[in-house]
Amino acid sequence: VVDAATAAADYQEAAAMLQDFTKRVPNQIPALLKLVEVCVDGGLETAMYEAQEQLTDAYLNANQAAEARVIAEDLVAREPWEAAHIDRFRKALVMLRVSDPDTLIAERLSGQAPFMAHDPFFDETEQAASPAVPEPEAEAAPPSESFEADPAENTVPELVTNSVPDLGPSAYTTHVDTPAASQTDIAPIPRAAAPPAAEQRRGADEIDLTGALGANDVPPQRAPAADPGGVGPGSDSTSTGGLDATLEDQRNEARADRDFSSQHMTLGRTYLEIGMVDEAISSLQTAARSPQHRFEAAATLGRLHDRRGEQQQAIEWLERAAETPAPSPDEGRTLFY
């Protein structure tokens, strides 16, 4: 009946039937997901927000904390003054074993950290039409042309401007000599040289650790090798200990990167379930950087682009999935056929 009403574009009737069913049989995740989908397609904003609240509670009752966090964070971003939304968000973070949930919530509410969720009914034209905040900077008075003396005299620009014509040539020359030192003091710091292109390509092909390991970082164990005079009888134990510590740090960082990719893979699945395709594509692209999730993420992205009629992107992602070993022979055959 719901499918028939949806096919007839009677989203109001379909949503009413699903709402009646979810009230009689609560915590039914498939029915709530269908209700959210119908509300998004029909533009039923109020009904969709109520369905999101029920869906978050259902996920929490089913111990699906990752899915509950996505929707709860969406609710907090939309209505940060609602204590019920914040309580749902905190419960999901506690179930995910976040070390300090209250601090994370405070950072989200204060704007120090952006929300990961996205409101499908958000009107971007309103944000574009809103006036920019930092306008007072444009009203600042332009600096005086004669204000070329020592930066230490910035506190009294009028005195400097009035005294410049009265100075003699020799005094003016000695006065102008001082900015040379100040200019060298404020010279821009040269940036470190970029790594070779081969290293960048090799890092992108294997695993994305740029978030944890800096692209310009040099492993500590290479420093003793560059100094031939540092080799001695007692240097073996020290270098071995430093190498072990470095390898252990890299293992921990690689493990953290895998966890980060797993979170984005879970976010991508959740976004697909609730019909947020653009957000799902963004999360799946991040998850595809990890070899652990590259096959599933790339295959899913290929199918999504194919449904949208974006054949070029679909072919690229399907080729990337084909280059990755399949988790099982069945999944590999499914990709090719």
**What's the pLDDT tens digit per position in 241-263?**
566 767 666 666 656 556 677 88
State the first-to-last Cα distance of the chain, in angstroms, to the nearest integer: 34
Count of Cβ atoms closer than 10 Å to residue 20 Cβ: 10
**What domains are defined for the chain?**
2-110 (1.25.40), 256-336 (1.25.40.10)
Question: Looking at residue 251, what is its pLDDT?
Answer: 66
Range of weakest confidence among 68-72, 234-238, 265-269, 287-291: 234-238
Q: Give the chain's mean pLDDT.
A: 67
Beta carbons of 95 and 83 less than 8 angstroms apart: no
DSSP label at 154? T
Taking each helix axis from N to C terminus, what angle separates 83-95 and 101-110, rounded to the nearest 10 degrees? 130
Mean pLDDT of the region 38-51: 82
Instruction: Take residue 267 and report the two structure tokens written for it.
Output: 């976010």
Which of 97, 86, 35, 25 shows the shortest CA–CA distance to 63? 97
Residue 172: which of 164, 183, 160, 161 has the closest Cα? 164
- Find the radius of gyration of the CA atoms of the chain: 30
pLDDT of 257: 58
Q: Is the pLDDT of residue 171 over 80?
A: no
- Under the banding of pLDDT at 50, 70 and 90, the label for residue 337 is low
User: Pick the residue with more confidence: 238 or 291?
Assistant: 291
Calculate the CA 52 to chain-centre distance.
Answer: 23
Cβ neighbours of 299 (radius 10 Å): 23
Q: What per-residue confidence (pLDDT) applies to 176?
A: 42
